[in-house]
Amino acid sequence: MRNIIVKIFGFLLIASLFACEEDVNYKTEFVENESLFCIINGDSSFQTAVVMKSFEERDNTNNNHIKNVQIRLTGKEQTITLVDTIGDGINEPGSYYYSNNFKPIIGDELIINAQLPSGEELNSSVSVPSFNLLFFNLSSFVIPSSETTGNLSLTWTIKGPLGRYAYLPVLTIKYSVNKMGTEEVKNIEIPIAHAESDNKFVPIYPSVTKNSFQVFSQSAIDRAFLEIAGADTNKSDYRIISGNFELYIMEENLATYFASTQTFKNTFSIKVYEPIFSNVEGGLGVFGAYIKRGLPVQISSSYVSSFGYRN
């Protein structure tokens, strides 16, 4: 999912509180740390890592990429060294390390070692999620819902061996917009519900969960489809291409990290605004792993045309 917009921010350090009889000091001495982020996609051979210096100011992300770091990923059958490269800053981070040739084995224990130019090292280990079978209670996801509740409910069952895993369900719709003869393909993520605030409807998206089910409100799906064209009156310029339900299965470290930030979308989605979980020795950061399973989404032609869109 490299096409999702990426923003990478530095750590906000924990401030210590010191009190005395005359005044209260809410600041402490700034300490710079090195941070390593690497999220292993168990379904891909493309893996990435980011190594940064931390900064005192939250929005200061300039020039904090650490170059000349030797990063080694080690699995049961291979060891590779990641390559330093420059991204476009939109679909990829401005600077990161990567490998196109590291396909982890399901259930394998992986070790990451980052040797910094200063001589210091960052280390961590993680196990790729492993199970024998995964069953969905539906053979396909159908929009609109035919359930009497008016909602779309989906459950899944995993057959061992089981680890301490958590899940992130994501429902997306792919569509295109034809403007001046040029067709642009886009994706929209469907929320599970909306909350009304200040006379506006705020989308609520799925979050990491230990539960093996997810419910999508049909009214939330309807509102999301309306927002595809928004105020544009040329509804026929919009074509609904397909739908996709994806279930991210995360091992414990990544699940804990995501629960503390609620920003996981793909390999590069690292947004840190507050003190959070870290499992990196010698510094800060997270080394985690996930695998993904999907389910086809069928969208009724009559439902699509009810919004004025094309199939």
Per-residue pLDDT, 196: 86
Architecture of the structural domain at 18-130+261-289: Sandwich (2.60)
pLDDT digits (tens, 9 = 90+) for 207-217: 899 999 999 99
Best CA proximity match to 279, nearest among 248, 249, 251, 254:
254
Q: Assign 180 a pLDDT band (cuts: 50, 70, 90).
A: confident
pLDDT digits (tens, 9 = 90+) for 45-71: 999 999 998 754 455 545 588 999 999
pTM for this model (two decimals): 0.80
pLDDT at 266 over 50: no
pLDDT at 6 over 90: no
Per-residue pLDDT, 22: 45
pLDDT at 229 over 60: yes
DSSP letter at 226? H
pLDDT at 186 over 90: yes
pLDDT digits (tens, 9 = 90+) for 236-259: 999 999 999 999 999 999 988 887
Q: Assign 277 a pLDDT band (cuts: 50, 70, 90).
A: confident
Best CA proximity match to 253, nearest among 293, 213, 295, 281:
281
Q: Assign 221 a pLDDT band (cuts: 50, 70, 90).
A: very high
Per-residue pLDDT, 241: 97
pLDDT at 265 over 80: no
Average pLDDT over residues 182-206: 91
Best CA proximity match to 271, nearest among 12, 1, 46:
12
Residue with tokens 């927002």: 227
Segments making up each domain of the chain, as ranges: 18-130+261-289, 133-247+295-305
Per-residue pLDDT, 239: 97
Per-residue pLDDT, 205: 92
Spatial contact of 272 and 97, defined as CB atoms under 8 Å apart: no
pLDDT digits (tens, 9 = 90+) for 129-174: 998 889 998 877 889 987 767 788 899 998 876 667 899 999 999 9
Q: Quick one: tokens of 182?
A: 């040029």
Q: How far is CA 128 from CA 51, 249, 269, 271, 293, in A?
A: 21, 10, 19, 23, 14
pLDDT at 269 over 50: no
pLDDT at 97 over 90: yes
pLDDT at 199 over 70: yes
Mean pLDDT of the chain: 82
Per-residue pLDDT, 27: 53
pLDDT at 25 over 90: no
